[in-house]
Amino acid sequence: MRRLRASTLGSAIFIAGLVAATGCSAGGSSTDAGTKPGKATAPSEQSKSRHTAPPVADGKPVSAGELQPLLLSAEDLGDNYVQQPAKDEAGKRYDDISIGGCPALEKLGASAGNMKFATKVTADFTYDFSSELSEELHSDSPKKLSDTFRAVDDAYGSCPTYTMSSGTTPIEIGVNKVSPPKLGDEQFGYLITMNFGSKSTVMKQFVVRQGNKAIVLSGSPGLVEKHLQTAYNKLTAK
């Protein structure tokens, strides 16, 4: 079983193939698991009601050149962080990733080509050679970003457990919605448990939309919690 990088999971799990995966090693924290993780709990009323009114403005997306300097760097994160080399996405195919057990996510994956965002840049880090953190910045119209993130959030509400397969490798996934910090115009948070064979991996993901830009921060739960504010401050710095 190959391990999947946090950036792969952050893309393929959250948007079920909607935003292309970006790597092929593992993120999060791993533990031996003789039993499969329990079924994820249904979203609370608090998490259901955190959506604000959908944006009316249809601001234009910014370019990758404008987004790139807004990504986190190892200097932003502190000691013992190493930034991984950028990967060339050109020509890569990720159509071997499939979703099962969740019709709503399967439907989103089938329409992925129509839902991709206009601009995307990424950065991947390791901490102390063991934990991982992945940041994706996206840009599109506020409405496109909001509609997409809400659609995935609603899909998770309809089926908080499902299976993701990469080739012939099945990964059982449970998703619990969590309350993210109140940043930006919209926020979404998830605690994701993956079970493959005798191993389980837990990762956290926070999504924050600010106007026509959005952060997707994924990886080891403690690192995601620690650095979301830093990522948001950098994204919105004037």
How high is the pLDDT of residue 118? 93
Compute, in degrees rounded to 10, the torsion defined by CA atoms 111, 103, 204, 80: -50
Q: List the beta bridge partners of residue 131.
A: 127
- Give yes or no for residue 128 having a pLDDT over 50: yes
- pLDDT, one tens digit per residue, over 33-62 is 333 434 444 444 444 435 555 554 567 899
* pLDDT range class, residue 92, cuts 50, 70, 90: very low
How high is the pLDDT of residue 110? 67
Cα–Cα distance for residue pair 79/68, rounded to 1 Å: 22
Beta carbons of 206 and 188 less than 8 angstroms apart: yes
Cα–Cα distance for residue pair 224/204, rounded to 1 Å: 7
Beta carbons of 147 and 94 less than 8 angstroms apart: no
- pLDDT, one tens digit per residue, over 183-217 is 999 999 999 988 887 888 899 999 999 999 999 99
- Give yes or no for residue 17 having a pLDDT over 60: no
Model pTM score = 0.78
Cα–Cα distance for residue pair 179/89, rounded to 1 Å: 32
Beta carbons of 106 and 16 less than 8 angstroms apart: yes
CB atoms within 10 A of CB 96: 10
Coil/strand/helix, residue 62: coil
- Give yes or no for residue 136 having a pLDDT over 80: yes
Amino acid at 159: C
Cα–Cα distance for residue pair 19/34, rounded to 1 Å: 32
